[in-house]
């Protein structure tokens, strides 16, 4: 620990010593809002009220694409008015040929390749945060919350009005934005940041009122200034949204000797509320929430030792979620999802389940959230604040018997409280931020069989982000600490879990403490980057997690005991040429190791992408990984040396503005140890009319693993010697999946959406081999491969029998774990926003899954069999009504 901190501090001091901050002052665009006098503005998209006065012309709008710095090809005017409750914005998007105006009718918050105008307001005036509102020519609304200057949260939903209209001169947009939807201080005279952005689909043109060149990093920091806002009173912000749901669930599997019907009814009531504590602090609460309208997660069969990450889709946790984000990842890839706060932990699937071979089980699939509340916002002094607390119910599984035996009730998830607090401080007008986080998970465990869970888990962290050298460079970092408590059983379970594997032999830095009731760990990330320049950009950095780092009670981390250092260089060209509009070339190198200095992967890649003048895109890459150590191959046994491997990938996509748009992706790879893999992933989107679209995706993947751990167990017993050996096998896995989406929009407030996705994966194990030397230089040094004559499949017992000395006596019996897993999920959602903020959902969901052993892939038969299984049908009606108190 001491060496870790001294090394990190020296690295930070070195970076601080070699960089200095140079301030640059650029005069921003300015606009003065006028106080509304006389009659109110009628929001109808027709700009005919006398109050509107247009004072700016298209000469103030400059292109960032396709011709950077050139005047916009079309004239754009705008004006801004306000009263004590609303900010009014009118935009006149004139067009020389009105037949080129493109307005696609879609559900709210779907950014189609239409024409658009966006009004983005930095009401904090912090150069980092903005509230953005968009309209297209047929009145479809989009709202976005921008944060940390360049990031955005498209799931943020505000309550506002906007309409658009079209005539022979162009199209027009009117915005009526309540001040209560913005966040600002109580100063009498206000100066806010503002940006007006127009997208012209015909030319793929991005035109901005407050322009900045593409070689300059940032977004919100380049907004113009909005002046003239005076004496805006404190806004009363109290929204209450009660809702009621009713659902009907039908599945023939529901009918059992202890349940006479093939259906279930359920009903639910709940409340969502939003209360403005001040003009810039908001308290949100949800009581007994229901997320039945949320789309199902994509299907998968996870054969690895590590947890899969799924994106959050539930509105309460998605909206404003960026405030609570404490990322421990850098760049992309699996590690990018590492975080101290993973909202999917709240309401997760129960840890345990009730079962009995002689009974009929009923187990909950998710933990019910009793209530959750969060306080969030930003003060005038630059403090961002987020506090969240949630309570989930004690969940029980039941087993009933048809012989009259008493029903078994078993706790499968304890009553749990989750708490998160997050703060950030802006310095130097947002060019430096320093923040911290604290999380707590407390479980009330009153059943002995759940004592393998932590009863208390705490994490804390500090992070920073600092722009240097005239904002051309960035230094960012984070430090995290974890502290978990539980019984000896719970801490032993953690030490031996796939994230830690303290039981691995021949490791000097790992050891099991079976008497421990507490585990403390630490982690960090650190990166220094060149983020601005005409052509060259680069980054160096590292992330690391100590062996005892354990964040997964409320956070997400796939693997502890890991450290990675990396370097990235990019050459980019944004000036259009004769055939190519822009291109990027990237060079990457990395080194991975455990804290015991076992190499877990050194490698590098070269990749690039380019856009043609017709807006088609293509790209490709090649990746090389050097030999290293696979620390989880034996599921807690010794690390096994790996061979070098190489893989390739590429893609081609057409212009997404066209009625038919396609993307074709593919990859392949192989290792010197004989493993190989490939896949193809084509997709197509067809928009026959401006309010209807069909998109389809097909994915086929093949994996041949020359030394898969066939069982997921550590060892297999030699029946003759009693010795426990590591037996591997070759695995052939084929996976095929598809996704179909239909979007039909009747009005900007009434839409019908369908999502359907079948998934089939088939795996077959054969050609078994014994691990004899994990440190062997070659594949044949590491594994003893058994001849086919030594391997016999016993159909009666459904086991493989291995007689490695051909004496007629079986040495190993290995269960047949060939698999054929099929799953289908679908959602049909009718959404009607019958009143601003009030919504009616009608949802029909289907789900089916089947796991079959020892079955080959036959797509036609598998699909037919999948739809012959008992499908779970759920019909749900959800009605919510917004009360603006």
Q: Which residues of the chain have pLDDT under 50?
A: 2, 4-5, 7-26
Tracing tokens 């990675």 back to the chain, one arrives at 564
Sequential DSSP letters for 289-331: ---TTSPPPPP----SSSPPP-----HHHHTTGGGG--B---S
Q: What is the pLDDT of residue 9?
A: 44
CA distance linking residue 339 with residue 337, whole number of Å: 6
Q: What is the pLDDT of residue 77?
A: 92
CB count in 10 Å sphere of residue 754: 15
Q: What is the pLDDT of residue 563?
A: 95
* Backbone torsions φ then ψ of 13, nearest 5 degrees: -60, -35
Contact 375, 429 (CB under 8 A): no
Q: How many residues does the chain have?
A: 885
Q: Please give the C-alpha separations between residue 193 and each of 31, 174, 225, 227, 429, in angstroms, as whole numbers.
A: 10, 19, 5, 9, 12
CA distance linking residue 563 with residue 602, whole number of Å: 11
Which residue(s) pair with 270 in the sheet? 243
CA distance linking residue 55 with residue 78, whole number of Å: 7
CA distance linking residue 608 with residue 572, whole number of Å: 10
Give the containing element (helix H, strand E) for 687.
strand 676-689
Contact 180, 61 (CB under 8 A): no
195 CA to centre of own chain: 28
CA distance linking residue 76 with residue 94, whole number of Å: 6
**What DSSP character marks residue 491?**
H
CA distance linking residue 427 with residue 738, whole number of Å: 48
Q: What is the pLDDT of residue 713?
A: 56
At 359 the three-state DSSP class reads coil
134 CA to centre of own chain: 23
Q: Please give the C-alpha separations between residue 158 and each of 109, 141, 151, 837, in angstroms, as whole numbers.
A: 11, 10, 18, 8
């Amino acid at each position: 620990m001491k060496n870790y901190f001294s090394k990190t501090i020296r690295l930070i001091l070195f970076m601080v010593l070699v960089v200095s901050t140079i301030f640059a002052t650029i005069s921003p665009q300015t606009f003065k809002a006028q106080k509304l006098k006389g009659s109110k503005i009628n929001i109808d998209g027709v700009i005919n009220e006398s109050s509107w006065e247009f004072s700016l012309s298209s000469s103030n709008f400059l292109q960032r694409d396709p011709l950077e710095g050139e005047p916009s090809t079309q004239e754009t005017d705008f004006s801004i008015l306000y009263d004590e409750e609303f900010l009014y914005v009118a935009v006149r998007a004139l067009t020389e040929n009105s037949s080129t105006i493109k307005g696609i009718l879609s559900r709210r918050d779907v950014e189609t390749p239409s024409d658009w105008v966006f009004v983005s307001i930095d009401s904090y005036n912090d150069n980092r945060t903005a509230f953005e509102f968009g309209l297209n020519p047929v009145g479809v609304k989009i709202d976005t919350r921008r944060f940390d200057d360049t990031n955005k949260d498209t799931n943020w939903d505000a309550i506002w009005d906007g309409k658009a209209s079209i005539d022979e001169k162009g199209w027009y947009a009117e915005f009526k934005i309540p001040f209560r939807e913005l966040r600002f201080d109580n100063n009498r005279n206000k100066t806010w940041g503002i940006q007006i952005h127009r997208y012209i689909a015909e030319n793929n043109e991005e035109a901005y009122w407050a322009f900045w060149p593409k070689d300059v990093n940032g977004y919100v920091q380049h907004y113009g200034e909005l002046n003239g806002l005076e004496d805006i009173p404190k806004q009363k912000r109290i929204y209450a949204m009660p809702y009621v749901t009713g659902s009907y669930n039908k599945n023939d599997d529901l009918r059992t000797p202890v349940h006479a019907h093939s259906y279930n009814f359920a009903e639910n009531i709940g409340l969502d509320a939003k209360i403005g504590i001040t003009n810039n602090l908001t308290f949100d609460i949800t009581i007994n929430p229901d997320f039945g309208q949320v789309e199902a997660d994509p299907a998968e069969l996870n054969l690895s030792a590590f947890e899969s990450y799924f994106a959050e889709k539930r509105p309460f946790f998605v909206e404003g979620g960026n405030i609570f984000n404490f990322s421990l990842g850098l760049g992309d890839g699996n590690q990018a999802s590492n975080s101290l706060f993973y909202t999917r932990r709240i309401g997760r699937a129960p840890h345990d389940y009730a079962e009995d071979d002689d009974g009929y089980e009923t187990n909950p699939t998710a933990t019910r959230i009793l209530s959750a509340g969060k306080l969030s916002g930003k003060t005038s002094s630059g403090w961002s604040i987020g506090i969240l607390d949630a309570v989930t119910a004690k969940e029980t599984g039941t087993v009933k018997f048809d012989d009259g035996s008493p029903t078994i009730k078993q706790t499968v998830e304890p009553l749990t409280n989750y708490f998160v607090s997050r703060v950030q401080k802006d310095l130097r007008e947002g060019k430096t931020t320093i923040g911290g986080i604290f999380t707590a998970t407390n479980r009330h465990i009153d059943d002995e069989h759940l004592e393998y869970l932590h009863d208390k888990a705490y994490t804390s962290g500090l992070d920073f982000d600092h722009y240097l050298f005239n904002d051309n460079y960035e230094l960012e970092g984070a430090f995290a600490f974890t502290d978990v408590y539980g019984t000896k059983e719970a801490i032993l379970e953690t030490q031996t879990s796939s994230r830690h594997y303290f039981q691995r032999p021949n490791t000097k830095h790992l050891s099991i403490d079976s008497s421990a009731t507490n585990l403390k760990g630490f982690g960090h990330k650190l990166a220094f980057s060149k983020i601005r320049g005409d052509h060259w950009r680069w980054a160096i950095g590292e992330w690391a997690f100590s062996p005892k780092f354990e964040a997964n009670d409320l956070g997400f981390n796939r693997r502890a005991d890991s450290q990675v250092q990396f370097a990235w260089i990019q050459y980019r060209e944004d000036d259009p040429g004769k055939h190519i509009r822009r291109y990027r070339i990237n060079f990457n190198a990395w080194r991975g190791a455990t804290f015991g200095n076992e190499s877990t992967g050194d490698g590098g890649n070269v990749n690039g992408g380019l856009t043609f003048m017709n807006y088609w895109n293509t790209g490709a890459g090649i990746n090389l990984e050097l030999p290293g150590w696979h620390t989880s191959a034996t599921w807690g046994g010794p690390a096994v040396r790996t061979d070098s491997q190489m893989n390739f990938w590429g893609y081609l996509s057409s212009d997404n503005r066209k009625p038919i748009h396609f993307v074709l992706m593919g990859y392949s790879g192989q290792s010197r140890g004989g493993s190989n893999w490939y896949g193809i992933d084509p997709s197509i989107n067809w928009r026959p009319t401006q309010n209807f679209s069909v998109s389809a995706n097909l994915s086929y993947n093949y994996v041949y693993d020359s030394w898969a751990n066939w069982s997921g167990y550590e060892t297999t017993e030699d029946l003759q010697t009693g010795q426990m050996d590591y037996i591997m096998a070759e695995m052939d896995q084929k996976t095929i999946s598809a996704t179909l989406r239909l979007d039909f929009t009747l009005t900007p407030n009434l839409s019908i959406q369908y999502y359907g996705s079948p998934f089939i994966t088939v795996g077959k194990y054969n050609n078994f081999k014994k691990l004899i030397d994990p440190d062997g230089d070659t594949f044949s040094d590491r594994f003893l491969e058994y001849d086919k004559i030594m391997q016999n499949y016993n159909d009666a017992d459904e086991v493989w029998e291995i007689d490695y000395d051909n004496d007629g006596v079986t040495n190993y019996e290995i269960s047949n774990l060939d698999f054929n897993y099929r799953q289908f999920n679908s959602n049909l959602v009718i959404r009607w926003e019958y009143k601003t903020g009030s919504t009616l959902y009608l949802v029909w969901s289907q789900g089916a899954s089947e796991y079959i052993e020892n079955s080959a892939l036959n797509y036609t038969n598998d699909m037919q069999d999948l739809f012959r299984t008992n499908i779970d049908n759920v019909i749900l009606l959800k009605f919510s009504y917004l009360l603006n108190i």
